[in-house]
Amino acid sequence: MKVLESFSLQGKTAFLTGGAGLYGRQLTEALCEAGATTYIASRGIEKLKETADCCGAKALRMDLDSEESMRHAVETAVAETGRLDILVNNAVTRCACGAWDQPMEVFDQSLHTNASSLFFLTRLAAETMKKQKSGSIINIGSYMGLLGPNPGNYTGTDMFDYEKASPIYFYEKGGMVNFTRFAASVLGKDGIRVNCICPGGYFNHQPEAFVRQYSANTMLGRLADDSDLKGILVFLASEASAYLTGTVIPVDGGYTAK
């Protein structure tokens, strides 16, 4: 196989949680543009359908709080295509991000959706991938899973209150990093690769002070845009990365390297 051909996802089935959110649309676009039959799944089905129609994907309703719902969605994709080659764990709830002094049940709910469902859905997808003796699982983490918050990024804004800030997102994304290594170790014998992308800050019309200060802390001098994750996703999903597993790759303009 020639090197450019190894990046093709033609004939492959991809399953992406989320798909219409902050990073979801460009991830959906990337999988579809590379040729994969792509399923995107979340609770917000109407918004999801808009993204699916624009990108050429298929939208499925799925609730990450429900084992039955996750199983039904994955089984639908497998029944229609006969296989499952790529799982992208992208969806996230931010229900406990408001403050640290919240009741335990609020944090428990976030962990159920963002951590327990990650474990379940990954194992579920792996059941099909094991039969094929191949597969690529890609977890969408965050630079916040690699570092603590930098107060200098938020000076002059009301984006982050250090007196009330919740640890949950940092905790969950940090856990995703080592879950990636765990799953890669356990599933490698079946030809299943597991890797993690840790995006940096994404430009979403934040206050000018934040954009300036955060950008100055990167090596490329800017936040991420609407296409910065597309290439790395296709690389990890495809045969171009056939000997790569257990890796955690910051895609952050050099933010975590400074």
In this structure, CATH architecture of domain 4-91+113-151+165-201+226-248: 3-Layer(aba) Sandwich (3.40)
Q: What is the DSSP letter of 112?
A: I
Which has the higher per-residue pLDDT, 79 or 162? 79
What's the half-sphere exposure (Cβ side, CA atoms, 13 Å) at 241? Answer: 24
Tell me: pLDDT of 105 over 80. Answer: yes
Tell me: pLDDT of 164 over 90. Answer: no
User: What pTM did the predictor assign?
Assistant: 0.96
Which has the higher per-residue pLDDT, 163 or 221? 221
Q: Which phi and psi angles does 102 have, rounded to 5°?
A: -105, 160
Percent residues over pLDDT 70 in the chain: 100
Q: Tokens at residue 89, please?
A: 């764990």
pLDDT score at 31: 98
Mean pLDDT in residue range 34-60: 95
Helix H or strand E encompassing 230: helix 230-237
Average predicted confidence (pLDDT) for the chain? 95
What is the band of 97 on the pLDDT scale with cuts at 50, 70, 90?
confident
Domain ranges in the chain are 4-91+113-151+165-201+226-248
Q: Are 217 and 155 in contact (CB under 8 A)?
A: no
Q: Tokens at residue 124, please?
A: 């579920």
Percent residues over pLDDT 90 in the chain: 87
Tell me: pLDDT of 26 over 80. Answer: yes
Tell me: pLDDT of 99 over 90. Answer: no
Could you report the per-residue pLDDT of 178-233, keeping only the tens digit for each?
A: 999 999 999 999 999 999 999 999 999 999 999 999 999 999 999 999 999 999 99
Name the burial class of residue 204, with classes exposed (0-12), middle (13-18) and buried (19+) by CB atoms within 10 angstroms of its CB: exposed
Tell me: pLDDT of 74 over 80. Answer: yes
